[in-house]
Structure 1
């Protein structure tokens, strides 16, 4: 009896993690610019929004309404979300110049170039 409750709680945690990953990936996909997707050569924004939106729908409906039968689709959606987060999102960030100081520069750089203290 205790083990049944543990298994149920474990599956609930897994469902919430999958749902959270789907939401986060969809939000980041929606925030990206359409031209950045083309410049990074990573399909289109519409493609990723449809794929990740479908992943979110499967996680919302499939997990609680249809149960474990949809686990295969949830895993496929998780793979799509992971691919977006580790491949597409960094490429979009590199193309748009975002993402902090990874691309170079120093802490003394201003908006128009390095700040030399009036020299």
Structure 2
């Protein structure tokens, strides 16, 4: 039973880390003008938020710590707001 729980937590940790990493790489690859045309935060602010989210996840590896949950929400907001708007 505990082996299954540990495996699920490890998979969840890796998936959430990958989401944050993908959001950070996507933000790095975008031009600032693309973000300026949207009604969102500037590129520098997103880079700081997403960079701290990835760093916090690397330091506090468990997926259910408060910093990792906040970072995951920030990455999902970025992906929904910026990537979702630009792809349309």
TM-score (norm 1): 0.67
- Quote the offset at 1:59 in angstroms: 1.1
- Give the CA deviation at 1:90: 2.7
Q: Count residues in correspondence.
A: 88
More helix by share: 2
TM-aligned CA deviation for residue 40 of structure 1: 1.1
The structure 1 segments of at least 4 consecutive aligned residues displaced by more than 2 Å after TM superposition are: none
Structure 1 unaligned segments of length 5 or more: list them: 94-98, 103-119
Alignment match of 1:39 (pick from 25, 37, 40): 37
Greater relative CO, 1 or 2 (CA 8 Å, sep 6+): 2
Q: Which residue of 2 aligns with 1:28?
A: 26
Q: Over alpha carbons, which structure has the higher Rg?
A: 1
Which residue, out of 79, 82, 85, partners 1:85? 79
- 1:41 Cα offset (Å): 2.5
Gaps of 5+ in 2: none
